[in-house]
C-alpha cells in the first residue's frame, strides 16, 4: 500500500510493510545471516546493484528493511539505515561525513558519548570539533571555519532541553557549504521532522521513544539525499554497525504505538512540570512545554508537541538531587529514556559523566540537574511519588542512607 498520503498514526502502523507470500500481518523475523542466490548470475547482479534483493544480513535483511523504510517515510527522507545502537548511528555519521583535517560544530549540551567519541577517538584521526550553544545562531556562525563540513545538532538536547532553530542553522550551515545532522532522539519523528526544516541527515537512538519499551538498544539514520544515503549505508556496512533482525522486529512493534505513547506521556509531563514549578524545593524546571522555557515559542513552530522529557534542579543542589533519586518509588532510578516506565537519573554522575565538569558548566547545566523521563503510569501516582521523595529530601540525611546512596551510585556507574 502506498502510505505517503496517510496521516502520521496510519504511517506508524503501515509504512514500510510489504506483504510476503504467507500474508503475515506483521513483518516476520528473517533470522538468517545469508540469502541463497538463484544462480551465479543472480548473485553477480545483486552485488552489482543491478537487481534489488538480499545478500547478507550485515548488508540488508527484510525485517531490518521494513524498519528502515518505515522510519525513512516518517522522516520524509530518501532512505533509512538501521544500526546496532544509537551510538552506532552517531559513529557511522561521523565516519561517513568527516575526514582528517575537517571540522565539526556541535551542540555543547549533547549526549555525553556523542561528544566523547569525537573528542577522544575521532580527534586521534585528525578530525576537529567545537561545541557551542547552538540555540544561539551567532555562536554557531562564530564557530564555523573554512574546513567545517558538518554542523551537528541535538534538539531538544540531552539533558538541558535546549532547543536549536533547525531551519535557521541549516540556512547558515548550507551557505557555508556544510551538511546539517540532527539527533532527533528526544522528539522522535512524531513531534519533529528535521529534514523538512532543512537538515540533511537525521538520526535516532531507537532505544528511546521509537522502540519505547526499554527492551532493545538500536539506532537509525535517515538521509534526505540519495548520494549521502549511499555514502552512509556503505560506511555502516563496512564498519559492521548493522542492526539485527530480531532487534528490528521489536522496534517495528514499538513504533506502531509511538503516537499514542507520546500523546499520553506528554499530557502527564505538562502536569508534572507545572506542579514541579510550584514546589518550594525546586529551583528550576526545564520543560519545553512551559511558557518559562526560553525556546517555548520556537518549539511551538518547529515541533508538533512538547514530549515527555523534564530536567529540574533542586534548591539543595547535587546532594538533594541524589537524595530525591534514592527515594522515588514509582519512577525507576535508571539511565535511558522514552520508555513506558518513568525513569529518573543524574546526568553529571551518569549519562554525562564523560564530559568534564567545566564543559558541563559551559554547556549550561549544573551538577544538581536531575533528568526525568515521563512514562505511562498514572500521573497522580507520579506526582505523589515525587512529593514523598521531596519530603525525604527535606529531612536531614542520616548517616546510613548517605552510605547506601554512595554504594548505589558506585554500582550504577560501574
| Grid cell at residue 284 | 528550576
Length of the chain: 414
Asked if 207 interacts with ligand LCS (CB under 6 A), we say yes
Indicate the residue whose CB is closest to ligand LCS.
Answer: 86
3-state secondary structure of 309: strand
3-state secondary structure of 141: helix
Beta strands in 206-308, from DSSP E residues, in sequence order: 219-223, 282-286
* 111: annotated active-site residue: yes
Using the contact rule CB under 6 A, the part of the chain among 39-47, 80-88, 188-196, 273-281 near ligand LCS is: 80-88
Please, which residues have CB within 8 angstroms of residue 23's CB and are 6 or more apart in sequence? Answer: none
* 208: annotated active-site residue: yes
Comparison of 57 and 373: residue with beta carbon closer to ligand LCS: 373
Binding-residue pattern over the window 119 to 158 for ligand LCS, x denoting contact by CB under 6 A: -----------------------------------x---x
Nearest to 166 by CA among 174, 362, 221: 174
Cα Dmax for the chain:
76
Comparison of 183 and 200: residue with beta carbon closer to ligand LCS: 183
| Grid cell at residue 405 | 546512596
Angle between helices 379-394 and 258-277 in degrees, nearest 10: 40
| Grid cell at residue 65 | 528493511
Nearest to 376 by CA among 262, 290, 281: 262
Applying the rule CB under 6 A, the residues between 342 and 361 that interact with ligand LCS are 351
Q: How far is the CB of 154 from ligand LCS (least distance, A)?
A: 5
Residue from 115, 149, 208, 371 carrying the catalytic annotation: 208
Distances in whole angstroms, Cα of residue 139 to Cα of each of 37, 132, 144, 260: 54, 6, 9, 37
Q: How far is the CB of 158 from ligand LCS (least distance, A)?
A: 4
Asked if 311 interacts with ligand LCS (CB under 6 A), we say no
Asked if 412 interacts with ligand LCS (CB under 6 A), we say no
Asked if 281 interacts with ligand LCS (CB under 6 A), we say no
Asked if 375 interacts with ligand LCS (CB under 6 A), we say no
Asked if 185 interacts with ligand LCS (CB under 6 A), we say yes
Helix (H) or strand (E) holding 10: helix 8-14
3-state secondary structure of 272: helix
* 58: annotated active-site residue: yes
Q: How far is the CB of 289 from ligand LCS (least distance, A)?
A: 19
- List the beta bridge partners of residue 153: 182
| Half-sphere exposure of residue 76: CA atoms within 13 angstroms, side-chain side | 15
Q: Contact with ligand LCS (CB under 6 A): which of 32, 336, 354, 401?
A: 336
- List the beta bridge partners of residue 221: 81, 203
Q: How far is the CB of 384 from ligand LCS (least distance, A)?
A: 25
Using the contact rule CB under 6 A, the part of the chain among 49-57, 62-70, 330-338, 390-398 near ligand LCS is: 330-338
Applying the rule CB under 6 A, the residues between 10 and 29 that interact with ligand LCS are none
Query: What is the DSSP-derived secondary structure letter of residue 133?
Result: -
* 230: annotated active-site residue: no
Residue 94 has phi, psi (to 5 degrees) of -60, -45
Comparison of 3 and 162: residue with beta carbon closer to ligand LCS: 162
Comparison of 46 and 190: residue with beta carbon closer to ligand LCS: 190
Asked if 335 interacts with ligand LCS (CB under 6 A), we say yes
Binding-residue pattern over the window 82 to 111 for ligand LCS, x denoting contact by CB under 6 A: ---xxx--x--------------------x
CA pair distance 198, 192, nearest whole angstrom? 12
Angle between helices 379-394 and 317-327 in degrees, nearest 10: 130
Pairing outcome for strands 282-286 and 219-223: unpaired
Q: Contact with ligand LCS (CB under 6 A): which of 201, 217, 223, 333?
A: 217
Comparison of 353 and 392: residue with beta carbon closer to ligand LCS: 353
Residue from 183, 200, 244, 385 carrying the catalytic annotation: 183
Asked if 337 interacts with ligand LCS (CB under 6 A), we say yes
Count of chain residues binding ligand LCS (CB under 6 A): 18
Look at the alpha carbons of 34, 40, 41, 45 in this order and tell me if their dihedral is positive or negative. Answer: positive
Comparison of 141 and 359: residue with beta carbon closer to ligand LCS: 359
Q: Contact with ligand LCS (CB under 6 A): which of 62, 219, 289, 305?
A: 219
- List the beta bridge partners of residue 105: 130, 151
Which parts of 120-204 fold into alpha helices (H)? 137-143, 166-175, 188-191
Binding site for ligand LCS (CB under 6 A): 85-87, 90, 111, 114, 154, 158, 183, 185, 205, 207, 217, 219, 335-337, 351
> Catalytic residue positions?
58, 111, 183, 208
Amino acid at each position: 500500500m502506498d502510505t505517503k498520503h496517510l496521516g502520521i498514526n496510519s504511517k506508524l502502523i503501515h509504512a514500510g510493510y510489504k506483504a510476503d507470500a504467507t500474508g503475515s500481518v506483521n513483518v516476520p523475523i528473517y533470522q538468517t545471516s545469508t540469502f541463497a542466490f538463484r544462480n551465479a548470475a543472480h548473485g553477480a547482479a545483486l552485488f552489482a546493484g543491478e537487481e534489488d534483493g538480499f545478500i547478507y544480513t550485515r548488508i540488508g535483511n527484510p525485517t531490518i528493511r521494513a524498519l528502515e523504510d518505515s522510519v525513512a517515510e516518517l522522516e520524509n527522507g530518501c532512505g533509512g539505515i538501521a544500526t546496532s545502537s544509537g551510538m552506532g548511528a552517531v559513529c557511522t555519521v561521523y565516519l561517513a561525513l568527516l575526514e582528517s583535517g575537517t571540522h565539526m560544530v556541535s551542540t555543547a549540551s549533547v549526549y555525553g558519548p556523542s561528544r566523547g567519541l569525537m573528542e577522544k577517538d575521532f580527534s586521534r584521526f585528525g578530525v576537529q570539533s567545537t561545541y557551542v550553544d547552538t540555540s544561539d545562531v551567532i555562536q554557531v556562525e562564530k564557530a564555523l571555519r573554512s574546513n567545517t563540513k558538518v554542523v551537528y545538532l541535538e534538539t531538544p538536547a540531552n539533558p538541558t532541553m535546549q532547543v536549536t532553530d533547525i531551519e535557521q542553522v541549516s540556512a547558515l550551515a548550507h551557505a557555508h557549504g556544510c551538511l546539517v545532522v540532527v539527533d532527533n532522539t528526544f522528539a522522535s519523528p512524531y513531534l519533529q521532522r528535521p529534514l523538512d526544516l532543512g537538515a540533511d541527515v537525521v538520526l535516532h537512538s531507537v532505544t528511546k521513544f521509537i522502540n519505547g519499551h526499554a527492551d532493545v538498544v538500536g539506532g537509525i539514520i535517515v538521509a534526505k539525499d540519495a548520494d549521502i544515503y549511499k555514502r552512509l549505508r556503505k560506511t555502516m556496512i563496512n564498519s559492521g554497525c548493522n542492526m539485527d533482525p530480531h532487534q528490528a522486529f521489536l522496534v517495528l512493534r514499538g513504533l506502531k504505538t509511538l503516537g499514542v505513547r507520546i500523546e499520553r506521556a506528554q499530557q502527564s509531563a505538562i502536569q508534572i512540570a507545572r506542579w514541579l514549578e510550584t514546589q518550594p524545593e525546586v529551583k528550576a524546571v526545564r520543560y519545553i512545554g512551559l511558557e518559562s522555557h526560553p525556546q517555548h515559542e520556537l518549539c511551538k513552530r518547529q515541533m508538533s508537541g512538547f514530549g515527555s522529557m523534564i530536567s529540574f534542579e533542586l534548591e539543595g543542589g547535587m546532594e538533594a538531587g541524589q537524595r530525591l533519586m534514592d527515594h522515588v518509588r514509582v519512577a525507576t532510578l535508571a539511565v535511558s529514556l522514552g520508555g513506558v516506565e518513568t525513569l529518573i537519573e543524574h546526568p553529571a554522575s551518569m549519562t554525562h559523566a564523560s564530559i568534564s565538569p567545566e564543559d558541563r558548566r559551559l554547556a549550561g547545566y549544573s551538577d544538581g540537574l536531575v533528568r526525568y523521563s515521563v512514562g505511562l503510569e498514572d500521573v497522580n501516582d507520579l506526582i505523589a511519588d515525587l512529593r514523598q521523595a521531596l519530603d525525604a529530601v527535606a529531612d536531614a540525611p542520616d548517616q546510613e542512607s548517605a552510605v547506601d546512596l554512595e554504594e548505589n551510585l558506585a554500582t550504577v556507574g560501574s
